[in-house]
Structure 1
């Protein structure tokens, strides 16, 4: 039996973005790493080709809401409508069935018990994070150092595309992945982490 490596999920929020997403896909392909993209519905249609490219490459596409408004500030009906609208558009663009687009990351990680109950009732899976490095206010070197200080098996790392946080995100990812690979992590999507580790660290099952 082969050696078991600790799992690590690399995730990105707030896209798709015409520059950041393209550069990220190139870097991920270079390192042969699969990631999970939590995308905003309002950004999907104008970046449909990149959405299709990400799905074809084996990355997981997931939901971050229609806009970046915190879920608790939306009424229940509006939240349900926004998520359905985002999921339906992802299905139209990628061909992925709606039933397979279940993972949702609330903007800012903002949830209240009522939000969690609703997401569960609608058969979504709420995905939180283990670590969010301050990559929008610090250097690439400092970001890599911050991630590596906390890197561990079962970790879900959250990085961001788009202005003002994303312009260096591909360079950060390119510098970070060799460091993580040296730790012999097994890079997985969030969906794979659900299936293989039954809701490991950083995923909220409620």
Structure 2
């Protein structure tokens, strides 16, 4: 299915949001008209690379969605706040980056639930989106995701930047794969992400020049 925009959280005293249905798979594209693309970043926050990414997003006045690892968010709550304060979206990428479809339901609930609880403690509201490490969802994990009030989000453009293939290859993967409704997968944590930062500095102005609008998926 294609992810439709929704508004996570609610104002104090407002009616609770409707329950999230259990999805059969993660959304891979956006259900939005026009040339819109969502930039997503996984595995942060990282004390070196997340601030560099934020600086680039600020320079080009575009939003990003940061799928944070609970362990990293716990170590760097100031960066989680900085992401949100600059208008970007903070989402759930599990606590310790395990492959969810190999875990018991209890462990999946702990991985996703503890991360949602931490994000709520830091920002005052729980996340409305989750991404399974490696994109490895199964029925039980998708059920837990829905029970925690989150939509599962995948991607349609994979930069493979985690493997550090070189700035030019990361750049080409985004520009060649760009399409209306695309969800682009990159990383701001989990290792040396200097290639990703450099590539984003090249990619963002080119996407804007091509008439794309960078948006949040929620």
> Higher helix fraction: Structure 1 or Structure 2?
1
Is this contact kept in 2: 1:16–1:39, CA < 8 A?
yes
Q: How does 1:1-206 map to 2 (within 5 A)?
A: 5-95=34-124, 97-98=125-126, 101-135=127-161, 136-191=163-218
CA 1:163–1:65: 2 relative to 1, 3 Å:
closer
Hey, what's the Cα distance between the residues in 1 that align with 2:148 and 2:83? 26
TM (norm. structure 2) is 0.80
CA–CA distance in 1 between the matches of 2:56 and 2:150?
A: 30
Cα RMSD after superposing both structures: 1.5
The answer to whether the Cα contact below 8 Å between 1:39 and 1:63 also exists between their aligned partners in 2 is yes
Distance 1:118 1:46, change over 3 A: closer
What is the alpha-carbon distance in structure 1 between the residues aligned to residue 190 and residue 147 of structure 2? Answer: 33
- Residue 84 to residue 118, structure 1, CA distance change in 2 (3 Å): closer
CA distance in 1, matches of 2:145, 2:204: 32
Write the distance in 2 (CA, Å) between the matches of 1:40 and 1:68. Answer: 7
* TM-score of the two chains, using structure 1 as the length reference: 0.84
Displacement, 1:182? Answer: 1.4
Match in the other structure for 2:6: none
* Structure 1, unaligned runs of 5 or more: 192-206
Runs of at least 5 residues in structure 2 that lack an aligned partner in the other structure: 1-32
Cα contact 2:170–2:196 (8 A) shared by 1 = no
Could you tell me how far apart the structure 2 residues matched to 1:138 and 1:178 are?
A: 21
Distance in 2, Cα, partners of 1:128 & 1:81:
21
Check the 8 A contact 1:64/1:105 in 2, yes or no: yes
Q: How many equivalent pairs are there? A: 185
Residue 159 of structure 1 aligns to a residue whose secondary structure is strand
DSSP-derived class of the 2:214 partner: strand
Deviation (angstroms), 1:11: 0.2
Deviates more, 1:117-126 or 1:15-24: 117-126
